[in-house]
Amino acid sequence: MATHTRLERAVEVEGASDKRPGKRRRDIDESKELQRALRIQEIEDPMLAGEYSESIFSYMRELEIMLAPAIGYLESRPREAWSVRRICVDIACRVCDSLNTIGETVFLAVNLLDRYLSSRTLHDNLHQPRVLIVTCVLIASKFEERNPFARVVDFLHILARLGLPPLDPSVFRAGERHLLQFFDYKLGWPGPLSFLRRCSRADNCDQAARLVAKYILEIILIDERFVLYRPSLQAAAALYIGRSMQGREDWPAILIEYSGYSFVEMEPAVLDMISFLSESYVTRTAPFHKYQTRRRSFVSLLVARWIERRSHIQIL
């Protein structure tokens, strides 16, 4: 109940603003002014492709549905299969961190894994899943990276450094061909980071909130309950939590416009994220260790403390 009460405060603030027409008008004026400023920035910066941004993100919202795992994926798998999936995703996170890939690579790799598993049966042994997820990482790196690890032998060398058992290069080549044919070369799934960047611009590019959101987006890859949440919704919900950690629990009109979601629409995802972050095994995952370094501002530790404080308040 405490979690719901605190999260619903943003909705209550919106309702209360109707009773204060003066403040309501000021908020609307400020929102319109910010929207105009963002539009000007998009037009003046050729890298933002401002004249095409609406069409681009509209198309990305179509792709996030078209290239999602098959409907019924969650219901069609036994509990043991999800344990194997968690191991696969953890391996993907470790490999991508070791390769220092860009953020999009690990998200695409996990999307490929889920799209394949939603249409195929995977034997619950650790050898075949390991080959599958590492092949997905290889394909994702070739698609996303500016300097991909195109040579399989170099890729396998890095896997060996991570302590993973050796694999035959021919297995990867055959697996890569099989997966590309299975996906019909449709690899352009838009991960949550593009949507997060768009929302972050509407949030004055707050780096602290954005870093928290990036950590949350990466660590929830491990949990199956988020498989069918759209990347755009995940990005909005994660940014909301990042803002909440700073005491900013509102979700203003400009963020509704740029994210495409109101607070009510993203509340279930927010609650699921907080519930997942409260689970004890989270601290043993690869993303948690990745984000507990100085380089990433100890974000995972800060989020864990914030979750602990919320739990303490809820108990009281």
Residue type present at position 213? A
- Spell out the residues 6+ positions from residue 290 whose beta carbon is closer than 8 angstroms to its own: 93, 97, 218, 296, 300
Summary mean pLDDT of the chain: 82
Is 182 exposed, middle or buried (CB count within 10 Å of its CB: 0-12, 13-18, 19+)?
middle
What is the pLDDT, as a whole number, of residue 114?
Answer: 93
Is the pLDDT assigned to residue 270 strictly greater than 80?
yes
Q: Which residue has the tokens 């279930």?
A: 268
3-state secondary structure of 228: coil
pLDDT, tens digit, 9 for 90 and up, residues 139-173: 999 999 987 765 777 778 877 887 777 778 888 88
Percent pLDDT > 90 in the chain is 51
Domains of the chain: 2-19+191-315 (1.10.472.10), 72-182 (1.10.472.10)
CA distance 246 to 235: 17
Q: Which residue has the tokens 């990005």?
A: 235
pLDDT, tens digit, 9 for 90 and up, residues 283-310: 999 999 999 999 999 999 999 999 998 8
The values of phi and psi at residue 229, to 5°, are: -75, 135
Q: Region 21-37: what's the mean pLDDT?
A: 56
69-77 contacts at long range (C-beta below 8 A, 24 or more positions apart): 69/111, 69/114, 69/115, 69/117, 69/118, 69/227, 69/228, 70/115, 70/118, 70/119, 71/228, 72/118, 73/114, 73/117, 73/118, 73/227, 73/228, 74/224, 74/225, 74/227, 74/228, 76/118, 77/117, 77/224
Q: Region 27-38: what's the mean pLDDT?
A: 58
